[in-house]
DNA sequence: AAACACGGAA
DNA sequence: TCAAATCCGTGTTT
């Protein structure tokens, strides 16, 4: 019995998961439903059950009983009594406050509670009390519909997520269908894409608001198109960069019956507002000068949008949250590979875009063959005595850079290139000097932000054909949507523990491979240095997704593999 | 018009 | 914590 229990569950809502344990996989899967990974050293992973992780679970339909059962099925020494209770209390908060429409004109809302004490308590919170309330009964209070977003945000901050049942306005209708493929080859959604869209639409099929979490390469754009096809309404699509804007437009016009005259681009170059409009986040947040207004936020109200799609929700900038608070009656679909934000605004995603409606673990897609298998390996490389000495006397931030630019890495890259004779190898790094040096040493072209777009495109194409087997790339790789997929990635340096960046880089390898469908991801780190710490942080998200990094230490500064 | 260069922003 | 990249607007050149 006990040999399947891989966890120690602690009173402070942290859970320690033993890595080598036979019950590891099963426990990880369960923990992912309602806990967040916060530390992942080699022997024990630490998870924390946070209010937000519980509410996201609750929104997916998990009950506190199911969570309690899951926990006790993995807890070696049982679940502390107080904790069981606390979880029950937290989970039950989701749904204790409900927001409903009041009257028929949509101008007012009513906040309802099953518990008078809770309603009294939240109405006493200053930021909530300052809204204009009319107490209708001990269990109901009325307010103006315009405050919907603000209210949800404030209540969430106070620890009470609201179940928003106030509904949506329909928006201008727009007819569109899937384009029928060649010779009756109907375009078909993959089964999980179908599931994701249905999760967004909800049981009533009336659509709603919320976030779908899917790995890179899972076809998030197609899911967005599907949501639009179901809703049949005018739609605003917000995304992170112009290449992505172009991609959306291409998919919209290729895969659906929408004509190019119905699809507009709203960016720095072109400001079209069409029945379907695709814009960058950046244009929305652009200001003439620092204290000016956001002049392009008016895009939210320029047409009667029935649906707003937020691509890459983890990058959504703060001012866009503020604008989103004002349009809570519009259906909202968030798409992302990770709910984790480096700025900690996960709560605002929950209250203003919506709760998580669907999540597919990366490993699950891998098992079904939709994405490649990836072997992740961290290689620890010693610093030679000169470098070590410099390192010891350096300041905090210099330390990181010295370790990251460890010249011994060049040798290891060469060894790895020898090992993988195949084409499709990316060397990815953070510092231009370092990348330059390595590019010269291995005789491969370096692509950085300085390189004109045309040259980049030419190199990407040559890489795709296999004529250029190895590319050295800087941070351009983080944004380049047109960079072809690779089968081996060697990360020689990375930014200060950005989990997203690591995920993005791994994402480059995920397109299914012919043959054994296997890809390789190496990350090179200087041994016993700050770089090691940050590598651990970077890897966390992927570990949560079920990837394991094997650690390989290099003995001498120059050694074979 | 389109291509390019620059500075500010986040 | 940094460095490097993007995007936007503006102004200049072809």
User: Is pLDDT of A558 > 80?
Assistant: no
Kindly state whether residues A143 and A261 are assigned to the same domain. no
A118-127, A311-320, A508-517: segment of lowest average pLDDT: A508-517
Chain C: nucleotides below 7 Å from protein CB are: 1-10
Kindly state whether residues A410 and A517 are assigned to the same domain. yes
Kindly state whether residues A117 and A72 are assigned to the same domain. no
Per-residue pLDDT of A418-459, as tens digits, reads 999 988 999 999 999 999 999 999 999 999 999 988 889 889
A33-37, A144-148, A476-480: segment of lowest average pLDDT: A476-480
Number of domains in chain A: 4
User: Is pLDDT of A240 > 50?
Assistant: yes
CA distance A141 to A328: 19
Name the DSSP class of A233: B
Strands of A134-137's sheet in order across? A134-137, A140-144, A108-113, A97-102, A163-164
Asked if residue A287 keeps its beta carbon closer than 7 A to nucleic acid strand B, the reply is: yes
Bridge partners of A427, per DSSP, are A472, A490
Give, in Å, how far the C1' of C4 lies from the CA of A113. Answer: 50
Per-residue pLDDT of A297-336, as tens digits, reads 999 999 999 999 999 999 999 999 999 999 999 999 999 9
Nucleotide minimizing C1' to CA distance for residue A452: B4
Q: Taking Cα atoms as reference points, which of A338, A57, A56, A360 lies closest to residue A190?
A: A360
Kindly state whether residues A311 and A273 are assigned to the same domain. yes
Residue A456 domain-assigned (yes or no): yes
Q: Is the Cα torsion angle A215, A72, A15, A5 positive or negative in sign? A: negative
Residue A1 domain-assigned (yes or no): no
CA distance A125 to A112: 16
Q: Residue A136 is part of a domain; what is its CATH number? A: 3.30.780
Asked if residue A289 keeps its beta carbon closer than 7 A to nucleic acid strand B, the reply is: yes
- Determine the structural domain holding residue A252 and report its residue range: 182-360
Nucleotide minimizing C1' to CA distance for residue A401: C2
Name the DSSP class of A257: S
Residue A335 domain-assigned (yes or no): yes
CA distance A439 to A446: 6
Residue A262 domain-assigned (yes or no): yes
Q: What is the pTM of this model?
A: 0.95
List strand C contacts in A 472-491 (CB < 7 A). 474-476, 479-480
User: Is pLDDT of A180 > 70?
Assistant: yes
């Amino acid at each position: 019995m006990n040999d399947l229990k891989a966890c120690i569950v602690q009173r402070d809502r942290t859970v320690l998961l033993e890595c080598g344990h036979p019950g590891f996989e099963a426990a990880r899967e369960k923990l992912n439903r309602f806990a967040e990974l916060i530390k992942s050293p080699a022997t024990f992973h630490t998870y924390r059950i946070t209010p937000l992780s519980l509410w996201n679970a609750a929104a997916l339909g998990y009950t506190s009983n199911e969570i309690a059962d899951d926990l006790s099925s993995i807890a070696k020494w049982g679940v502390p009594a107080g904790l069981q209770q606390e979880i029950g209390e937290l989970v039950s908060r989701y749904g204790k406050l409900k927001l409903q429409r009041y009257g028929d004109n949509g101008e007012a809302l009513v906040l309802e509670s099953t518990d008078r004490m809770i309603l009294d308590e939240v109405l006493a919170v200053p930021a909530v009390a300052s809204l204009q309330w009319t107490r209708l009964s001990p269990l109901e209070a009325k307010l103006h519909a315009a405050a919907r977003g603000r209210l949800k945000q404030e209540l969430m901050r106070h620890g009470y997520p609201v179940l928003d049942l106030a509904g949506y306005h329909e928006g201008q209708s727009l007819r569109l269908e899937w384009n029928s493929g060649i010779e009756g080859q109907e375009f078909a959604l993959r089964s999980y894409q179908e599931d994701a869209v249905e999760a967004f639409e909800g049981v009533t099929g009336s659509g709603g608001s919320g976030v779908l979490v899917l790995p890179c390469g899972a076809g998030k754009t197609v899911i967005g198109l599907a949501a639009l096809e179901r809703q049949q309404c005018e739609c605003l699509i917000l995304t992170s960069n112009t290449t992505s804007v172009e991609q959306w437009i291409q998919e919209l016009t290729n895969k659906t019956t929408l004509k190019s005259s119905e699809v507009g681009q709203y960016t720095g170059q072109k400001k079209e507002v069409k029945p379907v409009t695709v814009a960058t986040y950046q244009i929305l947040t652009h200001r003439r000068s620092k204290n000016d207004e956001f002049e392009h936020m008016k895009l939210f109200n320029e047409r009667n949008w029935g649906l707003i799609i937020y691509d890459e929700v983890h990058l959504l900038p703060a001012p866009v949250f503020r604008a989103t608070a004002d349009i809570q009656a519009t259906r909202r679909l968030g798409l992302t590979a990770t709910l984790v934000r480096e700025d900690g605004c996960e709560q605002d995603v929950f209250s203003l875009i919506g709760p998580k409606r669907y999540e597919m673990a990366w490993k699950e897609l891998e098992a079904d063959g939709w994405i490649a298998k990836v072997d992740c390996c961290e290689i620890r490389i010693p610093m030679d005595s000169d470098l070590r000495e410099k390192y010891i006397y350096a300041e905090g931030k210099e330390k990181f850079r010295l370790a990251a630019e460890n010249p011994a890495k060049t040798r290891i890259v060469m060894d790895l290139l020898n090992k993988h004779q195949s084409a499709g190898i990316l060397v990815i790094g953070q510092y231009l000097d370092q990348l330059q040096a390595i590019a010269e040493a291995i005789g491969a072209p370096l692509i950085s932000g300085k390189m004109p777009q045309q040259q980049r495109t030419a190199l990407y194409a040559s890489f795709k054909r296999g004529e250029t087997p190895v590319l050295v790339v800087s941070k351009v790789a983080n944004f380049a949507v047109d960079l072809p997929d690779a089968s081996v990635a060697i990360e020689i340096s990375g930014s200060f523990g950005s989990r997203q960046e690591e995920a993005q880089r791994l994402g480059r390898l995920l397109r299914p491979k012919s043959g054994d469908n296997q890809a390789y991801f190496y990350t090179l780190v200087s041994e016993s240095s700050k770089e090691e710490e940050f590598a651990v942080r970077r890897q966390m998200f992927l570990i949560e997704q079920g990837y394991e990094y094997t650690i390989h230490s290099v003995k001498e500064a120059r050694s074979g593999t």
